[in-house]
Amino acid sequence: MGRSEPPTAVSRRFPDGPKSVAAARRFVRAALDGAASDLVGTAELLVSELVTNAVLHARTEVGVSVARLDGRVRVRVGDRRPGRGLVPQRCSPYAGTGQGLALVEQLASRYGADGDDAGKTVWFELWHDGPPPPSSGWETAVPPLPAERTVTLVDVPPALEASCRQHRHGVLRELTLAASAGDRLGVAPEDLTAANDVNNVISAGLTAALDTPVPESGLRTLLLPLSADAVPAVQALGRVLGLAEERAREERLLTLPALPRGRAFQEWLLDEVVGQLSGGRPTAWTVVPREPGVSSTELVPWDVGQVRASRVPTIAADEGNRIVAANGAAADLLGWAPDDLVGRRLTALVPEHLRERHTAAFTSMLLTGRTHIVGRSVPLPALHRDGRLIPVRLYIQTQEAADGRTVFVAQLVPRAATFPDVPRTPGRVLEAAVGEPDGGRSPAVPESGTGRARVQGGMSPLDRLTLLAELGAQLNNTLELREGLQRAGRLLTRRLADWCVVDLFTDDARVDRVCVVHRDPRALRPGAYEGVLTEVSDESRGPLARVLRGAGPLLLVDAPQPGQTESALDRQYVELFRELGAGSAVVAPLRARRRISGALTLARAPGGRPFAEEDLALVDDLVHSLALGVDNARLYQDTRSIAERLQRSLLPVLPEVEGLRLAARYAASSTTAQVGGDWYDSFVLPRGDTALVIGDVTGHDLDAAIAMSQLRSMLRGIAVDREEPPAEVLRRLDLANHSLHQEATATCVYGLLKGSAHGPWELKHSSAGHPPPLLTTRDGRARYLGGGAGLLLGMDPTVDRGTALHTLPAHSTLVLYTDGLVERRDEPIDDALERLRRHAADLAHEPLDTFCDELLIGLGADSTDDIAVLAVRPTPPPSPRPGPAVG
């Protein structure tokens, strides 16, 4: 056998600075001249990562040594800062930073770290033949400097924290590299040094705190050890990150600005560190007031299952504007199969006239970090697969995937349907006490005066009456059945049970699990329990099936067990108990008006006081109250559905008039019952004039919708029969209104548009207390048309009304609108009208459909009132070209 090749080692020291990274690569390549090319390439890559880490985090002279033995390679990279330990970031493959040590782990045959009081060294070995010995890991012999204080971060979403941590490292790395090249981008050198140091300490502490299994709630309380004198450095980090955001928005960095949710979390994190190091108390992330674009209903990392489980039409897209998930409700609404939507650009669902605007807005959001519609309810059209436009209300939220990426989750609810309440971030922690890492939120500790302690001691008659009254109030104080049941469930789990379930019959006799509430929200997986189950079949023998047939209340002294003849419904019920856990339960029918609408299940966890016979009378009273509330809510929803169909049926088809383009939009309120008195109309009179109508009946209920339909019909009849000036038509309408059994109070504009296809066009209009029409000319000037103003309808039918006369230039846009487009709380009406005028002027050159949609998108988001818009644009046909001269 031949002798082994003697080891050869060469070393070199490199100064602190980014240029040393490239110099170290060249040094390794020269030292390994003649070695296998794959070993050389891997060694270059890994030494590049390790020297970069030393430059960024240690900021000392860096020593690199390379040794070769029998075809094997050993590389050592050392710095002179032993107190700065190694922190494997465990970042996702999508992260732009934090990959150095992970690459070493993946590519090196062996790796490890050594240290002493003078410095620390990271080493790796590469070889081809034979299994390598085990690696020693990243623990160095030198312990980190001891921390003097502990910061308690309550309710941290790990995915959001990881995304923000990656962003911090990205911008700080770019600022450091720019500073080394002589461009400090306005950042003070001492601030950048302090920011890098304290960011490394914070990241190391958070990484260590998160290195435990994540609870299903997605929220964590983290203990962050820090030095007591770290406040100035943390403040410097805040200043540097603020400047970095400005430079990113100026496109002077490769890293994109943070989105509002990320910025808010970053500010909260640094505020908590500074505040607690200065003696303040912790404040949970979930209870910090935030803007709509910052908050999110989903505090757990985004998962495709959330979209699929949602009953609301929902689509999710990534930062590349591609659809990554869609549920069946969204696919049905837009004429697609869910799998066919995944992978397509979002523009496949955007009407053609809005695609350019969508692309520009999405790009602007990524480049500036500013959003205009995230977290807001916006009325706009969606594109059906067959080319039809579907009016929807769009609600977009941002969430973070577990790998740190941002996902945009959009709910699209047809405007004729009920829009869900704007999601609220659950207040999981009302107050976090100093010294209590979880803010005192252990589910085993009851709430003061209302929790398990009172249940164990029994419930007095007064307590029973109070609970019944509160339960009725939870259902009566909201118009939405599901929201009311959620509130009722939260009350019951505070006062009576650990978890509860409400199952309701659907119209086709299936069972819909509409509500699952747990005392500890972290115990529920989002979307995992609710949904439509199967029907109650003849084989169903379980407790839920028995109750749905009319039995009960039933006392279960143990969780239901699988039976030999169980049905699908029985199996689903057993599975629910197995997942949530129960030592005892009561199942009771929801019976009202001589019919059963569903069932309530109340369960207590093992170890606590079980339900007993004396509890059944109370539960029976509770389900009677609950059943009556469910029945009333369903009756209301049926009534509202009728009103919605009535209101939608009254929206007219606009006439086709040569030389005119007409467009209209209607958007119900984002917060009310979605029925009201706003309407628009347009029709051609027998003499050829075009009538334009916009109106608003006081109220947001079925009565308002009925009154609106009566006024609309009467106005058409009067206008067509008499063809009188607008003022006279409104006077006669007001007289007819007073003849109704219940006269309405309403505003209205009635206008007559006269002219030929080639123009000119003349508008005569009269107003009954309505906001003035707005005229925008082709050159971008916009003004309100005064004159013709009078009293509201329903005030005094004998009062004289006036008529105004105006000329409409070719290609100008006349806009009639209801006050929901402009009025906002705590804002003078003059300011609101000025905002509309400016917005319309900016849209002067847009096609009429784009003009209308942009008005709703820009001004109609989160409107608490209905909105109707009618727009008219005189568009003369092109003049015929002259023919060739005839000789």
Mean pLDDT of the chain: 82
The tally of CA atoms less than 13 A away on the side-chain side of residue 673 is: 25
Q: Identify whether 136 is part of a domain.
A: no
Q: What CATH number corresponds to the domain at position 831?
A: 3.60.40.10
Cβ–Cβ < 8 Å for 182, 169: no
Q: Pick the more confident residue, 159 or 521.
A: 159
Q: Are residues 634 and 657 in the same domain?
A: no
**Does the pLDDT value for residue 790 go beyond 50?**
yes
**Does residue 615 sit in the same domain as residue 656?**
no
| 171 and 41 together in one domain | no
Q: What confidence tens digit (pLDDT) does each residue in 722-771 have?
A: 889 999 999 999 999 888 767 788 999 999 999 988 889 999 999 999 99
pLDDT digits (tens, 9 = 90+) for 472-525: 777 776 667 887 888 888 889 888 899 999 999 987 888 888 888 888 877 776
Three-state DSSP string of 10-77: EEEEECCCCHHHHHHHHHHHHHCCCCCHHHHHHHHHHHHHHHHHHHHHHCCCEEEEEEEECCEEEEEE
Task: Classify residue 831: in a domain, yes or no.
Answer: yes
pLDDT over threshold 50, residue 650: yes
Domain co-membership, 273 together with 314 = no
Burial 11-20 (b: 16+ CB within 10 A, else e): ebebebebeb
> 619, 639, 659 — which closes off a domain?
639
- Strand segments, DSSP code E, in 698-798 are 746-755, 761-768, 774-776, 782-784, 789-790
- Does residue 884 sit within a domain? no
430: in domain: no
The mean-pLDDT minimum among 176-180, 223-227, 788-792, 861-865 falls in: 861-865
* Cβ-based neighbour number of residue 837 at 10 Å: 18
pLDDT of 92 > 70? The answer is no
Query: Confidence band (pLDDT; 50, 70, 90) for 218?
Result: low
Does a structural domain hold residue 363? yes
Q: Please report the pLDDT score of residue 456 as a whole number.
A: 36
Of residues 142 and 286, which shows the higher confidence score? Answer: 286
Confidence of residue 885 (pLDDT cuts 50, 70, 90): low
Residue 432 lies in a domain: no
Write the CATH number for 551: 3.30.450.40
From 92, 126, 160, the end of a domain falls on 126
Which of 600, 617, 639 is the C-terminal boundary of a domain?
A: 639
The reply to whether 693 and 609 lie within a common domain is: no
One domain, residues 623 and 729: no
Same domain, 631 and 553: yes
> Helices 461-476 & 481-495, crossing angle to 10 degrees?
160
pLDDT in tens, 314-368: 899 988 889 999 988 889 889 998 889 999 999 999 999 898 888 888 888 888 8
**CATH number of the domain that residue 376 is part of:** 3.30.450.20
- Shared domain for 282 and 350, answered yes or no, is no
Tens digit of each residue's pLDDT (9 = 90 or more) over 388-423:
888 888 888 888 776 667 888 888 877 754 333 333
Residue 881 within a domain: no
657 and 511 in a single domain? The answer is no
In a domain, 201, yes or no: yes
Q: Indicate whether 89 pLDDT > 50.
A: yes
Tell me: do 772 and 689 sit in the same domain. Answer: yes
Do residue 164 and residue 110 come from a single domain?
no
Are 102 and 210 found together in one domain? no
User: What is the residue range of 101's domain?
Assistant: 8-126
Give the mean pLDDT of 112-136. Answer: 83
| Residue with more model confidence, 297 or 834 | 834
The mean pLDDT value for 73-96 works out to 75
pLDDT at 441: 30
Report, as an integer, the average pLDDT of 44-62.
88
pLDDT single digits (tens) 795-820: 888 888 999 999 999 999 999 999 98
Query: Per the structure, how many domains does the chain have?
Result: 5
Residue 776 has pLDDT above 70, yes or no: yes
